[in-house]
Amino acid sequence: MAMTVTFQSLPTQGHPKIQPPARVSVTFTGDDAQSEEDDLENAYRLQIEELIKKESNRLVSERHDPIETSRLCSLSLLELFESGDSDLVPALMARLGPVRAALDGHGGGILVSEADIEVNNSGTRSLSLVIDLDGECVSCGAAPGTLKGIQDDLLIDSEVSSVRFSSSMLEWFDDLQRDFVLKHGGVTFV
C-alpha cells in the first residue's frame, strides 16, 4: 500500500531558508500500523537531517576559511598531540560535523582535558580523549545531544579510539538533567 502525507510548510523563525518538506511519499509493504508509523517517522527524520546538515555546512563555511579547515583536517592528530601543537583543538573542531555549527553559533568550543595514546594488538596507535566544553556551552540544555554529536564525529577519525567527557561537566546540571544525560546521553564521563 502506498501512502502520501502532506505537511503544511510553515516558515521557521530565525531560519527563513529552512522549510519543512512540502510532501513526503512513503511506500509501505506491511499491514502493521506501527511499521507504517515508524517508516513515516524515519523518512521525515532523514529529510530533516539532510536539511540540518546543509544549513550547518553553510554556517561553518561562512565562519571558517575552507582552506584552513581542509589543512586542519589533513593534519595527524597523533602528531599534533605528541608535539604539543596548539593546532590539536582546531584540528578536532575541524573534524566535527553539524555539531560544530551549534558550538560556533552558541559561542562554545571544546577543550582536551586529557589525552593518551593507545596501541591495539596490531600495533595501531590512536588517541583516547577526555573532552570538556567551554565558552557558552557551559550549562547548555542541549548538552546531551552536543556531547553525543562530538563523540560520534570524532570517532569517525581513525586516529581516535575513544572519546569520553570530563565528569566536572556534570556539576553544570541540576539533578534531573544530570540523571537524563547519564542514562540517555550515550556518552561516558570520567
The sign of the CA dihedral 130, 136, 140, 144 is negative
Q: What percent of the chain has pLDDT over 70?
A: 78
**Domains of the chain with CATH codes:** 2-7+14-62 (no CATH), 66-184 (3.30.300.130)
Q: What are the pLDDT digits (tens) for 39-59?
A: 888 888 888 878 777 877 777
pLDDT category of residue 8 using cuts at 50, 70 and 90: very low
140: pLDDT confidence band, cut at 50, 70 and 90?
low
Distance of alpha carbon 15 from alpha carbon 109, whole angstroms: 23
The mean pLDDT of 79-87, rounded to a whole number, is 97
Does the pLDDT value for residue 65 go beyond 60? Answer: yes
Task: Examine the pLDDT at 23 and tell me if it is beyond 60.
Answer: no
* pLDDT confidence tier of residue 138, bands split at 50, 70 and 90: low
Report the pLDDT averaged over residues 99-126.
89
End-to-end CA distance of the chain: 50
HSE of 73 in the Cβ direction (CA atoms, 13 Å)? 15
Query: How many residues does this entry show for the chain?
Result: 190
* Band of pLDDT at residue 1, cut at 50, 70 and 90: very low
Report field, pTM of the whole predicted structure over 0.95 = no
To which residue does cell 579547515 refer? Answer: 69
Whether 131 has a pLDDT exceeding 60, the answer reads yes
User: Which of 37-51, 91-105, 158-172 ranks highest by mean pLDDT?
Assistant: 158-172
